């Protein structure tokens, strides 16, 4: 039987316009997919009901087409798959691998003794085994669902490894350390999933074999590998590329107001110029 072609994906969130950093990641995915005779998918990661907007999702697709990217359609949108995420979360609940959490961000910050790889306060496990949880939840208290890291590692004993690939396509691997994330949120208070849970389910559903994304998500891969093992999902190969930075050395980001591709286009910059600037033909 002939081997299936590799599957790459570019997965932005529609909470702002794409900037040069996004363009680099999208073009790198396209370049690697083309060189490896693979498929390129685009996924809209729009589980955040407050920050994500449909008009920004359409603007993202328009920017990608302007750059000259060809990707398969229809484009998967996470907001269309909330029931699937809820089902996966329920399966983890049934196995005793997640627990409800009523803590506020302020309470977590005050009680935390460390930081997770994203720099957020590490959850101290306050609600794990808390006696009044069922009563408060029955009364309508909003709650998140957190991974019980100790139970999860007991369910997946032994070492975990991340399968990697470099920009040239050479495979490798490295050890994974999901414990540094602590009891991470897998179901938010407003939606039945989190980035971490949704992304591993989406990659499996779409048959993604190669995840090419920024270095800022490298640490998250350790947690993703654990979730894949818990849920019986395949693990793609991962490549985390260097981030584009501004003259002050800060990474380009929507939150910092980095110049959008739409702004560059309005200034008369062409897609060909963007591609050359980023090192692509």
Question: How confident is the prediction for the chain on average, in pLDDT?
Answer: 95
Mean pLDDT of all residues in 267-276: 97
Taking the C-alpha atoms of residue 84 and residue 47, their distance in angstroms, rounded to an integer, is 13
Q: Is the pLDDT of residue 1 over 70?
A: no
Give 262's pLDDT tier (boundaries 50, 70, 90).
very high
What are 125-150's pLDDT values in tens digits? 999 988 899 999 999 999 999 999 99
Q: Is the pLDDT of residue 256 over 90?
A: no
Query: Is the Cβ–Cβ distance between 226 and 184 less than 8 Å?
Result: no
Encode burial over 70-89: b for 16+ CB neighbours within 10 A, e otherwise. Answer: ebeeeebbbbebeebbeebb
Residue 112, C-beta contacts closer than 8 angstroms, at least 6 positions apart:
121, 122, 123, 124
| DSSP assignment letter at 120 | S
Mean pLDDT of all residues in 57-77: 97
What pLDDT does residue 2 have?
Answer: 58
How many C-beta neighbours within 10 Å does residue 36 have?
15
Taking the C-alpha atoms of residue 114 and residue 156, their distance in angstroms, rounded to an integer, is 24
Give 158's pLDDT tier (boundaries 50, 70, 90).
very high
What pLDDT does residue 241 have?
Answer: 98
What pLDDT does residue 237 have?
Answer: 98
What pLDDT does residue 113 have?
Answer: 84
Q: Is the pLDDT of residue 217 over 80?
A: yes
Give 246's pLDDT tier (boundaries 50, 70, 90).
confident
What pLDDT does residue 275 have?
Answer: 98
φ, ψ for residue 46 (rounded to 5)? -120, 45
What domains appear along the chain, each with residue ranges and CATH number?
7-277 (3.40.50.620)
How many C-beta neighbours within 10 Å does residue 40 have?
21
Q: Is the pLDDT of residue 76 over 90?
A: yes
Q: Is the pLDDT of residue 162 over 90?
A: yes
Taking the C-alpha atoms of residue 166 and residue 172, their distance in angstroms, rounded to an integer, is 8
What pLDDT does residue 258 have?
Answer: 81
Taking the C-alpha atoms of residue 203 and residue 222, their distance in angstroms, rounded to an integer, is 15
Taking the C-alpha atoms of residue 132 and residue 66, their distance in angstroms, rounded to an integer, is 54
Give 251's pLDDT tier (boundaries 50, 70, 90).
confident
Residue 276, token pair as written in the block: 């050359």
The alpha-helical segments, DSSP class H, found in 125-178 are: 133-138, 149-155
Taking the C-alpha atoms of residue 79 and residue 48, their distance in angstroms, rounded to an integer, is 9
pTM of this prediction?
0.95
Taking the C-alpha atoms of residue 210 and residue 56, their distance in angstroms, rounded to an integer, is 26
Taking the C-alpha atoms of residue 20 and residue 68, their distance in angstroms, rounded to an integer, is 14
């Amino acid at each position: 039987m002939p081997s299936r072609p590799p599957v790459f994906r570019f997965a932005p969130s529609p909470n702002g316009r794409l900037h040069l950093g996004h363009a680099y990641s999208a073009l790198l995915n396209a370049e690697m997919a083309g060189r490896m005779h693979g498929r390129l998918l685009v996924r809209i990661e729009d589980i955040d009901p407050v920050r994500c907007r449909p008009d920004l999702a359409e603007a993202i697709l328009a920017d990608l087409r302007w750059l000259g990217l060809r990707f398969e359609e229809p484009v998967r949108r996470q907001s269309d798959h909330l029931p699937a995420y809820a089902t996966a979360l329920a399966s983890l609940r049934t196995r005793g691998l997640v627990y409800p959490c009523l803590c506020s961000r302020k309470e977590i910050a005050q009680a935390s003794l460390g930081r997770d790889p994203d720099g957020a306060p590490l959850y101290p496990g306050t609600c794990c085994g808390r006696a009044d949880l069922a009563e408060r939840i029955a009364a309508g208290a909003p709650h998140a669902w957190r991974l019980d890291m100790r139970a999860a590692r007991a369910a997946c004993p032994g070492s975990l490894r991340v399968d990697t690939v470099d920009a040239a396509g050479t495979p490798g691997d490295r050890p994974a350390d999901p414990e540094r994330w602590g009891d991470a949120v897998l179901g938010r208070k407003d939606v039945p999933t989190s980035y971490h849970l949704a992304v591993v389910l989406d990659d499996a559903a779409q048959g993604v074999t190669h995840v090419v994304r920024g270095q800022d998500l490298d640490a998250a891969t350790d947690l993703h590998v654990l979730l894949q093992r818990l849920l019986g999902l395949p693990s793609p190969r991962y490549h985390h590329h260097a981030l584009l930075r501004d003259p002050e050395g800060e990474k380009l980001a929507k939150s910092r107001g980095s110049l959008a591709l739409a702004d560059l286009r309005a200034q008369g910059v062409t897609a060909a110029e963007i591609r050359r600037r980023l090192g692509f033909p």
